[in-house]
Amino acid sequence: MAQGKGLKKILLSEEEIRRRVAELGAQITKDYRALVGQASWEKQLARPLLVVGLLRGVVIFLADLVRTIDVPLRYDFMTVSSYGNADSPGELLLLKDLVDPIQGQDILIVEDIVDTGQTLSYVQRTLKARKPRSLRTCCLIDKTPRREVEVQLDYVGFRLEENEFLVGYGLDYAGLYRNLPYIAALETR
């Protein structure tokens, strides 16, 4: 355990997460098939969905999610960081951008957790300015107690009202706990 911190309780089990990720994938598949229309698979290949993951915590969720989406897709990653101090977040900076232009493409942003909304809002504005054909957002956890900025969330795995520090399934504390197959609240004392 990092610096004496242990797990307080499991909030979302491995099975709950697996089931919900499959449901999200099915809904995203249905919605993007409707967006593309009744085009053949070959025509869909000419217009794949671009899934944009926000690093680093999203890796596990994104890997599981894309395997449940049954439309042609590609994926890429962005990294956004806040430069401030421990008490107040500072300016958001784009550290890793997408490899290719996205104008005219269907984009799905995938985020592990939406807390204050600042990072996701920044990414949504940044990508909208690049004129994609469509832009939707999927998050595993919508953690509402600390929300500062309203953001568009098209697909939400779980809404949590508790203001717990979450770890597991990609979420970390000081880089640790990401490999847990469930999501737990971390003891903060």
Amino acid making up residue 177: Y
CA pair distance 115, 6, nearest whole angstrom: 22
Tens-digit pLDDT profile for residues 74-94: 999 999 987 655 445 568 999
The stretch 140-165 carries a mean pLDDT of 95
Q: Is 112 a catalytic residue?
A: no
Averaged pLDDT of the chain: 91
Q: What percent of the chain has pLDDT over 90?
A: 80
Tens-place pLDDT, residues 111-144: 999 999 999 999 999 999 999 999 999 999 999 9
Whether the Cβ atoms of residue 172 and residue 184 lie closer than 8 Å to each other: no
Backbone angles phi, psi at 168, to 5 degrees: 105, 160
62 closest CA partner among 14, 21, 4, 28? 21
| Six token digits for residue 116 | 């204050």
pLDDT of residue 39: 65
SS3 64: helix
Q: How far is CA 73 from the centre of its chain?
A: 16
Domain limits at 126? 2-82+90-96+103-186
In the prediction, which pLDDT does 37 show? 74
Number of domains in the chain: 1
Supply 13's token pair: 């089990």
pLDDT at position 1 is 37
Distances from the Cα of 69 to the Cα of 29, 85, 129, 158, angstroms = 5, 39, 26, 18
Flag whether pLDDT at 165 surpasses 90.
Answer: yes
When pLDDT is averaged across residues 148-161 and rounded to a whole number, the result is 96
Catalytic residue among 64, 112, 115, 172: 115
Question: What is the DSSP secondary structure assignment for residue 171, as one 8-state letter?
Answer: B
CATH of the domain at 181: 3.40.50.2020
Tell me, rounded to whole angstroms, the distance of Cα 178 from its chain centroid: 14
Helices (H) and strands (E) in the chain, counts: 4, 9
pLDDT tens-digit series, residues 34-65: 887 766 667 677 789 999 999 999 999 999 99
